[in-house]
Amino acid sequence: MSALAKYWSIVSDAPSLFRRRMTGGAYRPEIDGLRFFAIAIVVVGHVAERAVRFFASARLAAQDSVVADLVQRAGLGVFLFFTISGFIIATQARKARQSPLSGAFLRSYYGRRILRIEPPYIVLLVCTWAALTLTGYAPEGANHFDAAPQSLTVSLLASMAYLHGLVFGAYPRLFPPGWSLEVEVQFYLVAPLLFWLWFRMKRATTRVAFGLGLLAIGALASLALPDKIGAVFVDKSILRFFSFFWLGIILCDAQGWATDKIGALPAPLTTAIGWCGLAAYLVIPNAGEAVIPGLVLRAAVYLSLIAMFASAWAPRSGFRRFCSRPWIALVGGACYSIYLVHLQTAQIISTIAAKLAPGLGLAGVCGLMVIQYLAIVAAGLVFYILIERTFMLPDWHRQAAARVRALLRPRAPGATPAE
């Protein structure tokens, strides 16, 4: 086999070798495809923000530019992530045999999230804290680094407890995008109660009325609540973003019905629904302070998300086929790792490039952004393969404990480790 053939074999086999490890249920590549869009929006937004901060040519081009405003909306990717989370967790809860409030379900549910999500996040936080503490370096162009609390150690502990936003009302200093993970954890805490209430409703009309009513209440709360209530900063809490998680739960419940309906449509139409839904999602303006116009815009966002999910479910949809492409699904499956390393990677590259070429022109900045995208995906996949996939194993903690016991077990004099 030639070197080129070996290289191509490695590239083509990578998606199947390193796809997400499942603890139960069938693998859904189209859902990882939706995750791909979510992480792409986040990465493009944050890289574009740094281009504007570090380079005068990018700042000048971004002035009064609709395109520049659209690509800097990283929050849209987060909202899509929230919707996917609601859908996935509700799907898992529906398949479980136990009640969502039973001891067996809660032990499995919370234990899995602690063992799966917490360790990679702690690795990132501790490594970032150690690097900044040991070097004394203060990141340049990092708008949220000079924020409360002053102590990096206190900020680290608050982030590890998922309380940074609620307590300090500021983005986490060590990893600003961590605010969204804190909101996710708040949803995880209340989700079993939501599932218990939702699954008890057997009549379709009751479920529809309750589902749409709670979605409207969540949307209203996100627009009307103040930034702070007492000592709690609402702006960084589940109260501001609950409606997206709840939309995911509704989509889980409506999946069978929606799949039948959209599956009966012509394939070109089902494809167009998905791509048009994505396009609309990207261009719908952010909801402003006015409640009624804000609710209209929020309803349009919900409809665009519904269109994307429905098209991803349609068996003959070209949108679904794109989402299910091996490398698209692999990048989407590794989205958590890419999410964890993308900001540090972009910050390092932008800082170095700005020092080496402070007068870089717009074409050069665009080229630099492409390099950053490639570096972020590469760094994310390495983190995913070496670290995150380890914690996808449901018994990784037992395996680790067994290895520690084996290392600590006394050996007879002269015995080898194998003995």
**Section 266-293 average pLDDT:** 91
| 335 found inside a domain | yes
Structural domain of 359: 27-73+325-407
Two tokens at 115?
Answer: 């063992």
| Residue 200 lies inside a defined structural domain of this protein | no
Q: Is the pLDDT of residue 10 over 70?
A: no
Supply the pLDDT for residue 412: 60
> Is residue 317 a contact partner of residue 274, using CB atoms and an 8 Å limit?
yes
Indicate whether 323 pLDDT > 60. Answer: yes
Report pLDDT digits (tens) over 217-256: 999 999 988 888 888 888 889 999 999 999 999 999 999 9
Please provide the average confidence, as pLDDT, over all residues in the chain. Answer: 90
For residue 76, pLDDT over 80 is answered with yes
- Coil/strand/helix, residue 137: coil
Asked if residue 106 is part of any domain, the answer here is: no
Distance of CA 132 to the CA centre of its chain: 25
Flag whether pLDDT at 129 surpasses 50.
yes
Q: Does residue 346 lie in a domain region?
A: yes
Cα 322 from Cα 109, distance rounded (Å): 31
How far is 134 from 139, CA to CA, in rounded Å? 14
140: confidence class by pLDDT, cuts 50, 70, 90? confident
Mean predicted confidence (pLDDT) in 339-347: 96
Residue 419 has pLDDT above 50, yes or no: no
Does the structure show a pLDDT above 70 at 50?
Answer: yes
Instruction: Supply 295's token pair.
Output: 């609710």
β-sheet bridge partners, residue 232 = 229
In a domain, 91, yes or no: no
Instruction: Give the pLDDT confidence of 168-184 residue by residue, as tens digits.
Output: 988 999 999 999 999 99
* Residue 356 placed within a domain: yes
Contact 34, 80 (CB under 8 A): yes
- Say how many domains are in the chain: 1
Residue 149 included in any domain: no
- Reported as a single tens digit per residue, the pLDDT across 349-384 is 999 999 999 999 999 999 999 999 999 999 999 999
In a domain, 100, yes or no: no
Contacts of 328 (CB under 8 A, 6+ apart): 32, 33, 36, 322
Residue 3's pLDDT is 60
Kindly state the percentage of the chain with pLDDT values over 90: 66
CA distance 289 to 371: 37
Question: Tens digits of per-residue pLDDT, 180-228?
Answer: 999 999 999 999 999 999 888 888 889 889 999 999 999 999 998 888 8
Mean pLDDT of 396-402: 83
Which pLDDT band holds residue 399 (cuts at 50, 70, 90)?
A: confident
Cis previous bond, 149, omega within 30:
yes
For residues 122 and 119, what is the distance between their CA atoms, to the nearest angstrom? 5
Q: Could you report how far apart the first and last alpha carbons of the chain are, in Å?
A: 41
Task: Check residue 418 and give its pLDDT.
Answer: 45
| Pick from 130-134, 339-343, 344-348, 400-404: least confident | 400-404
Banded pLDDT at 141 (limits 50, 70, 90): confident
